[in-house]
Amino acid sequence: QVQLVESGGGLVQLGGSLRLSCAASGFTFSRWAMDWYRQAPGKERELVATITSFNIATNYADSVKGRFTISRDNAHNTLYLQMNSLQPEDTAIYYCHTLRQPFYWGQGTQVTVSS
């Protein structure tokens, strides 16, 4: 079964940085595009970054473009999100995602940016 376990969140000051990790198992990780989503209090879940299989291409939401970098280590079945210049508006629970079915959302990892 597909399992995605997020980690690396925490409390950070405005302008700081964090790197989130997602450990993947239960499927052939390198074959599938991966995504990071986030959900802020009172908001719907939104897509923030996507990376294709075998690291061919990436895409970002306008709100994070230039500040966040998505990457993957296919040898270790791990997805990353490097977050720089963090803003209070980045405060949310961050989730990793794949189109591999059956898929269920995990617990996510909380990112809180103080101002």
DSSP letter string, 37-75: EEE-TTS--EEEEEE-GGG--EEE-TTTTTTEEEEEEGG
What was the pLDDT predicted at 54? 81
7 vs 56: CA distance, rounded Å: 24
What was the pLDDT predicted at 56? 83
Query: CA 83: distance to chain centroid?
Result: 10
Task: Say which residues have a Cβ less than 8 Å from residue 102's Cβ, sequence separation at least 6.
Answer: 1, 2
Mean pLDDT of the 63-84 span: 97
What was the pLDDT predicted at 30? 95
Burial tier of 104 (Cβ tally within 10 Å: 0-12, 13-18, 19+): exposed
Percent of the chain with pLDDT over 90: 92
For residues 79 and 24, is the Cβ–Cβ distance under 8 A?
yes
Lowest model confidence (mean pLDDT) among 13-17, 69-73, 77-81, 101-105: 101-105
Can you read off the two tokens belonging to residue 14? 């405005």
Mean pLDDT of the 68-75 span: 96
- Looking at every residue in the chain, the average pLDDT score rounds to 96
